[in-house]
Amino acid sequence: MTKIPMYKIINKTISRAMHDSNNVICFGLGVTDPKGVFGTTLSLEKKYGSHRVFDVPASENALTGLAIGASLNSSIPILTHQRLDFALLSMDQIINGAAKWLYMFGGKLNVPITIRMIVGRGWGQGPTHSQNLQSVFSHIPGLKVVSASTPDNVANLLYSSIFDPNPVIFLEHRWLHNSMGIFPKKLKKNELGKCKILKKGKDITLISLSYMTLECIEASKLLKKFKIDAEIVDLSTVSPLDKRNIINSLKKTRRALVADTSNNICGISSTIASIINQNISNLKNKVEIVSLPFCPEPTSHQLVKYFYNDRYTIVNKVLNMFRIDKKIQRDKSNKPDVPGKWFKGPF
């Protein structure tokens, strides 16, 4: 089957959902512009009409209220933000409205909205355009939080999110938009709340989400040279967490490293480490965490290149866990805001 970029898979998934249900609507800043939110919403207005696919004024809080109201009147809204940071203006509607509605009305009124938020970094965006706040949203009861990692999995995750009866925060790292994968012949629902075992192994479990899943995949290849067989667990859904598969993997490997795109203070990585420690009594090492420093992202290229983690960070942490006195050096030829020479995407 022909591989296509993740942004096209997302586009085809939204289109399929709109085809499957006339109640699905798609709106947000830039949804109908020539670039179509990194290509993910291109041609949808032409295909389904401006009454179902439309651009909006810059008023994030009001837009979320509109989505909630529409969902209570039979619509299935997909609200798109070109940056997670912009969605912060709508936290009142998300937390005090969408997340609470089902509980406040005795389980009789659902709010089936999907809020897409683009995360990640690029071209020196700095502190206010690069935040990964999955931990913030996963702390709120009533919200489901999805973190897309691989192009082969994103279609089923997004399709499941759109048709889930609950509000879903759907996070997409823009460095993943140009990774290549296959659009499935048949889309699945009910895929939320499940980890994906991307690679089986016996020596250590690498638990990851978002862009760090790709780095874990590459790290596992480097670890083979040291005869370390890593199992890779992609979280896929941050809330609810699939604790069972995480624990089952640790029962086998008894070593864990958690790779997060955010910092570990009150973070997903710390929560996972706590879950492991509470359920696995015979760990061979303490749970290691690869996460960001507890400060905003710098804008300067000279600072950014030391700020983020990659496959080399992961490998060196694992080698230390196995008491192997060696270090893998980072590829210095990569630009600070480009993940690798393979990257062909915008920003």
Which residues are the active-site residues? 60, 129
Collapsed DSSP state (helix, strand, coil) of residue 206? strand
Is-contact 212 290, C-beta < 8 A? yes
C-alpha to C-alpha distance for 215 and 230, rounded to whole angstroms: 13
Which residues does 264 contact at the CB level (< 8 Å), separation at least 6? 270, 289, 291
C-alpha to C-alpha distance for 311 and 334, rounded to whole angstroms: 13
Which residues, in sequence order, are bridge partners of residue 231?
205
Is-contact 298 304, C-beta < 8 A? yes
Cis bond upstream, residue 336 (ω within 30): no
Which residues, in sequence order, are bridge partners of residue 30?
none
Helix count and strand count (H, E) for the chain: 14, 14
Altogether, the residues listed in the chain come to a count of 347
Longest dimension (CA), the chain: 62
What six digits make up the tokens of 129? Answer: 């355009």
C-alpha to C-alpha distance for 299 and 302, rounded to whole angstroms: 9
Neighbours of 48 (CB within 10 A): 18
Which residues, in sequence order, are bridge partners of residue 32?
none
Which residues does 71 contact at the CB level (< 8 Å), separation at least 6? 77, 110, 111, 112, 113
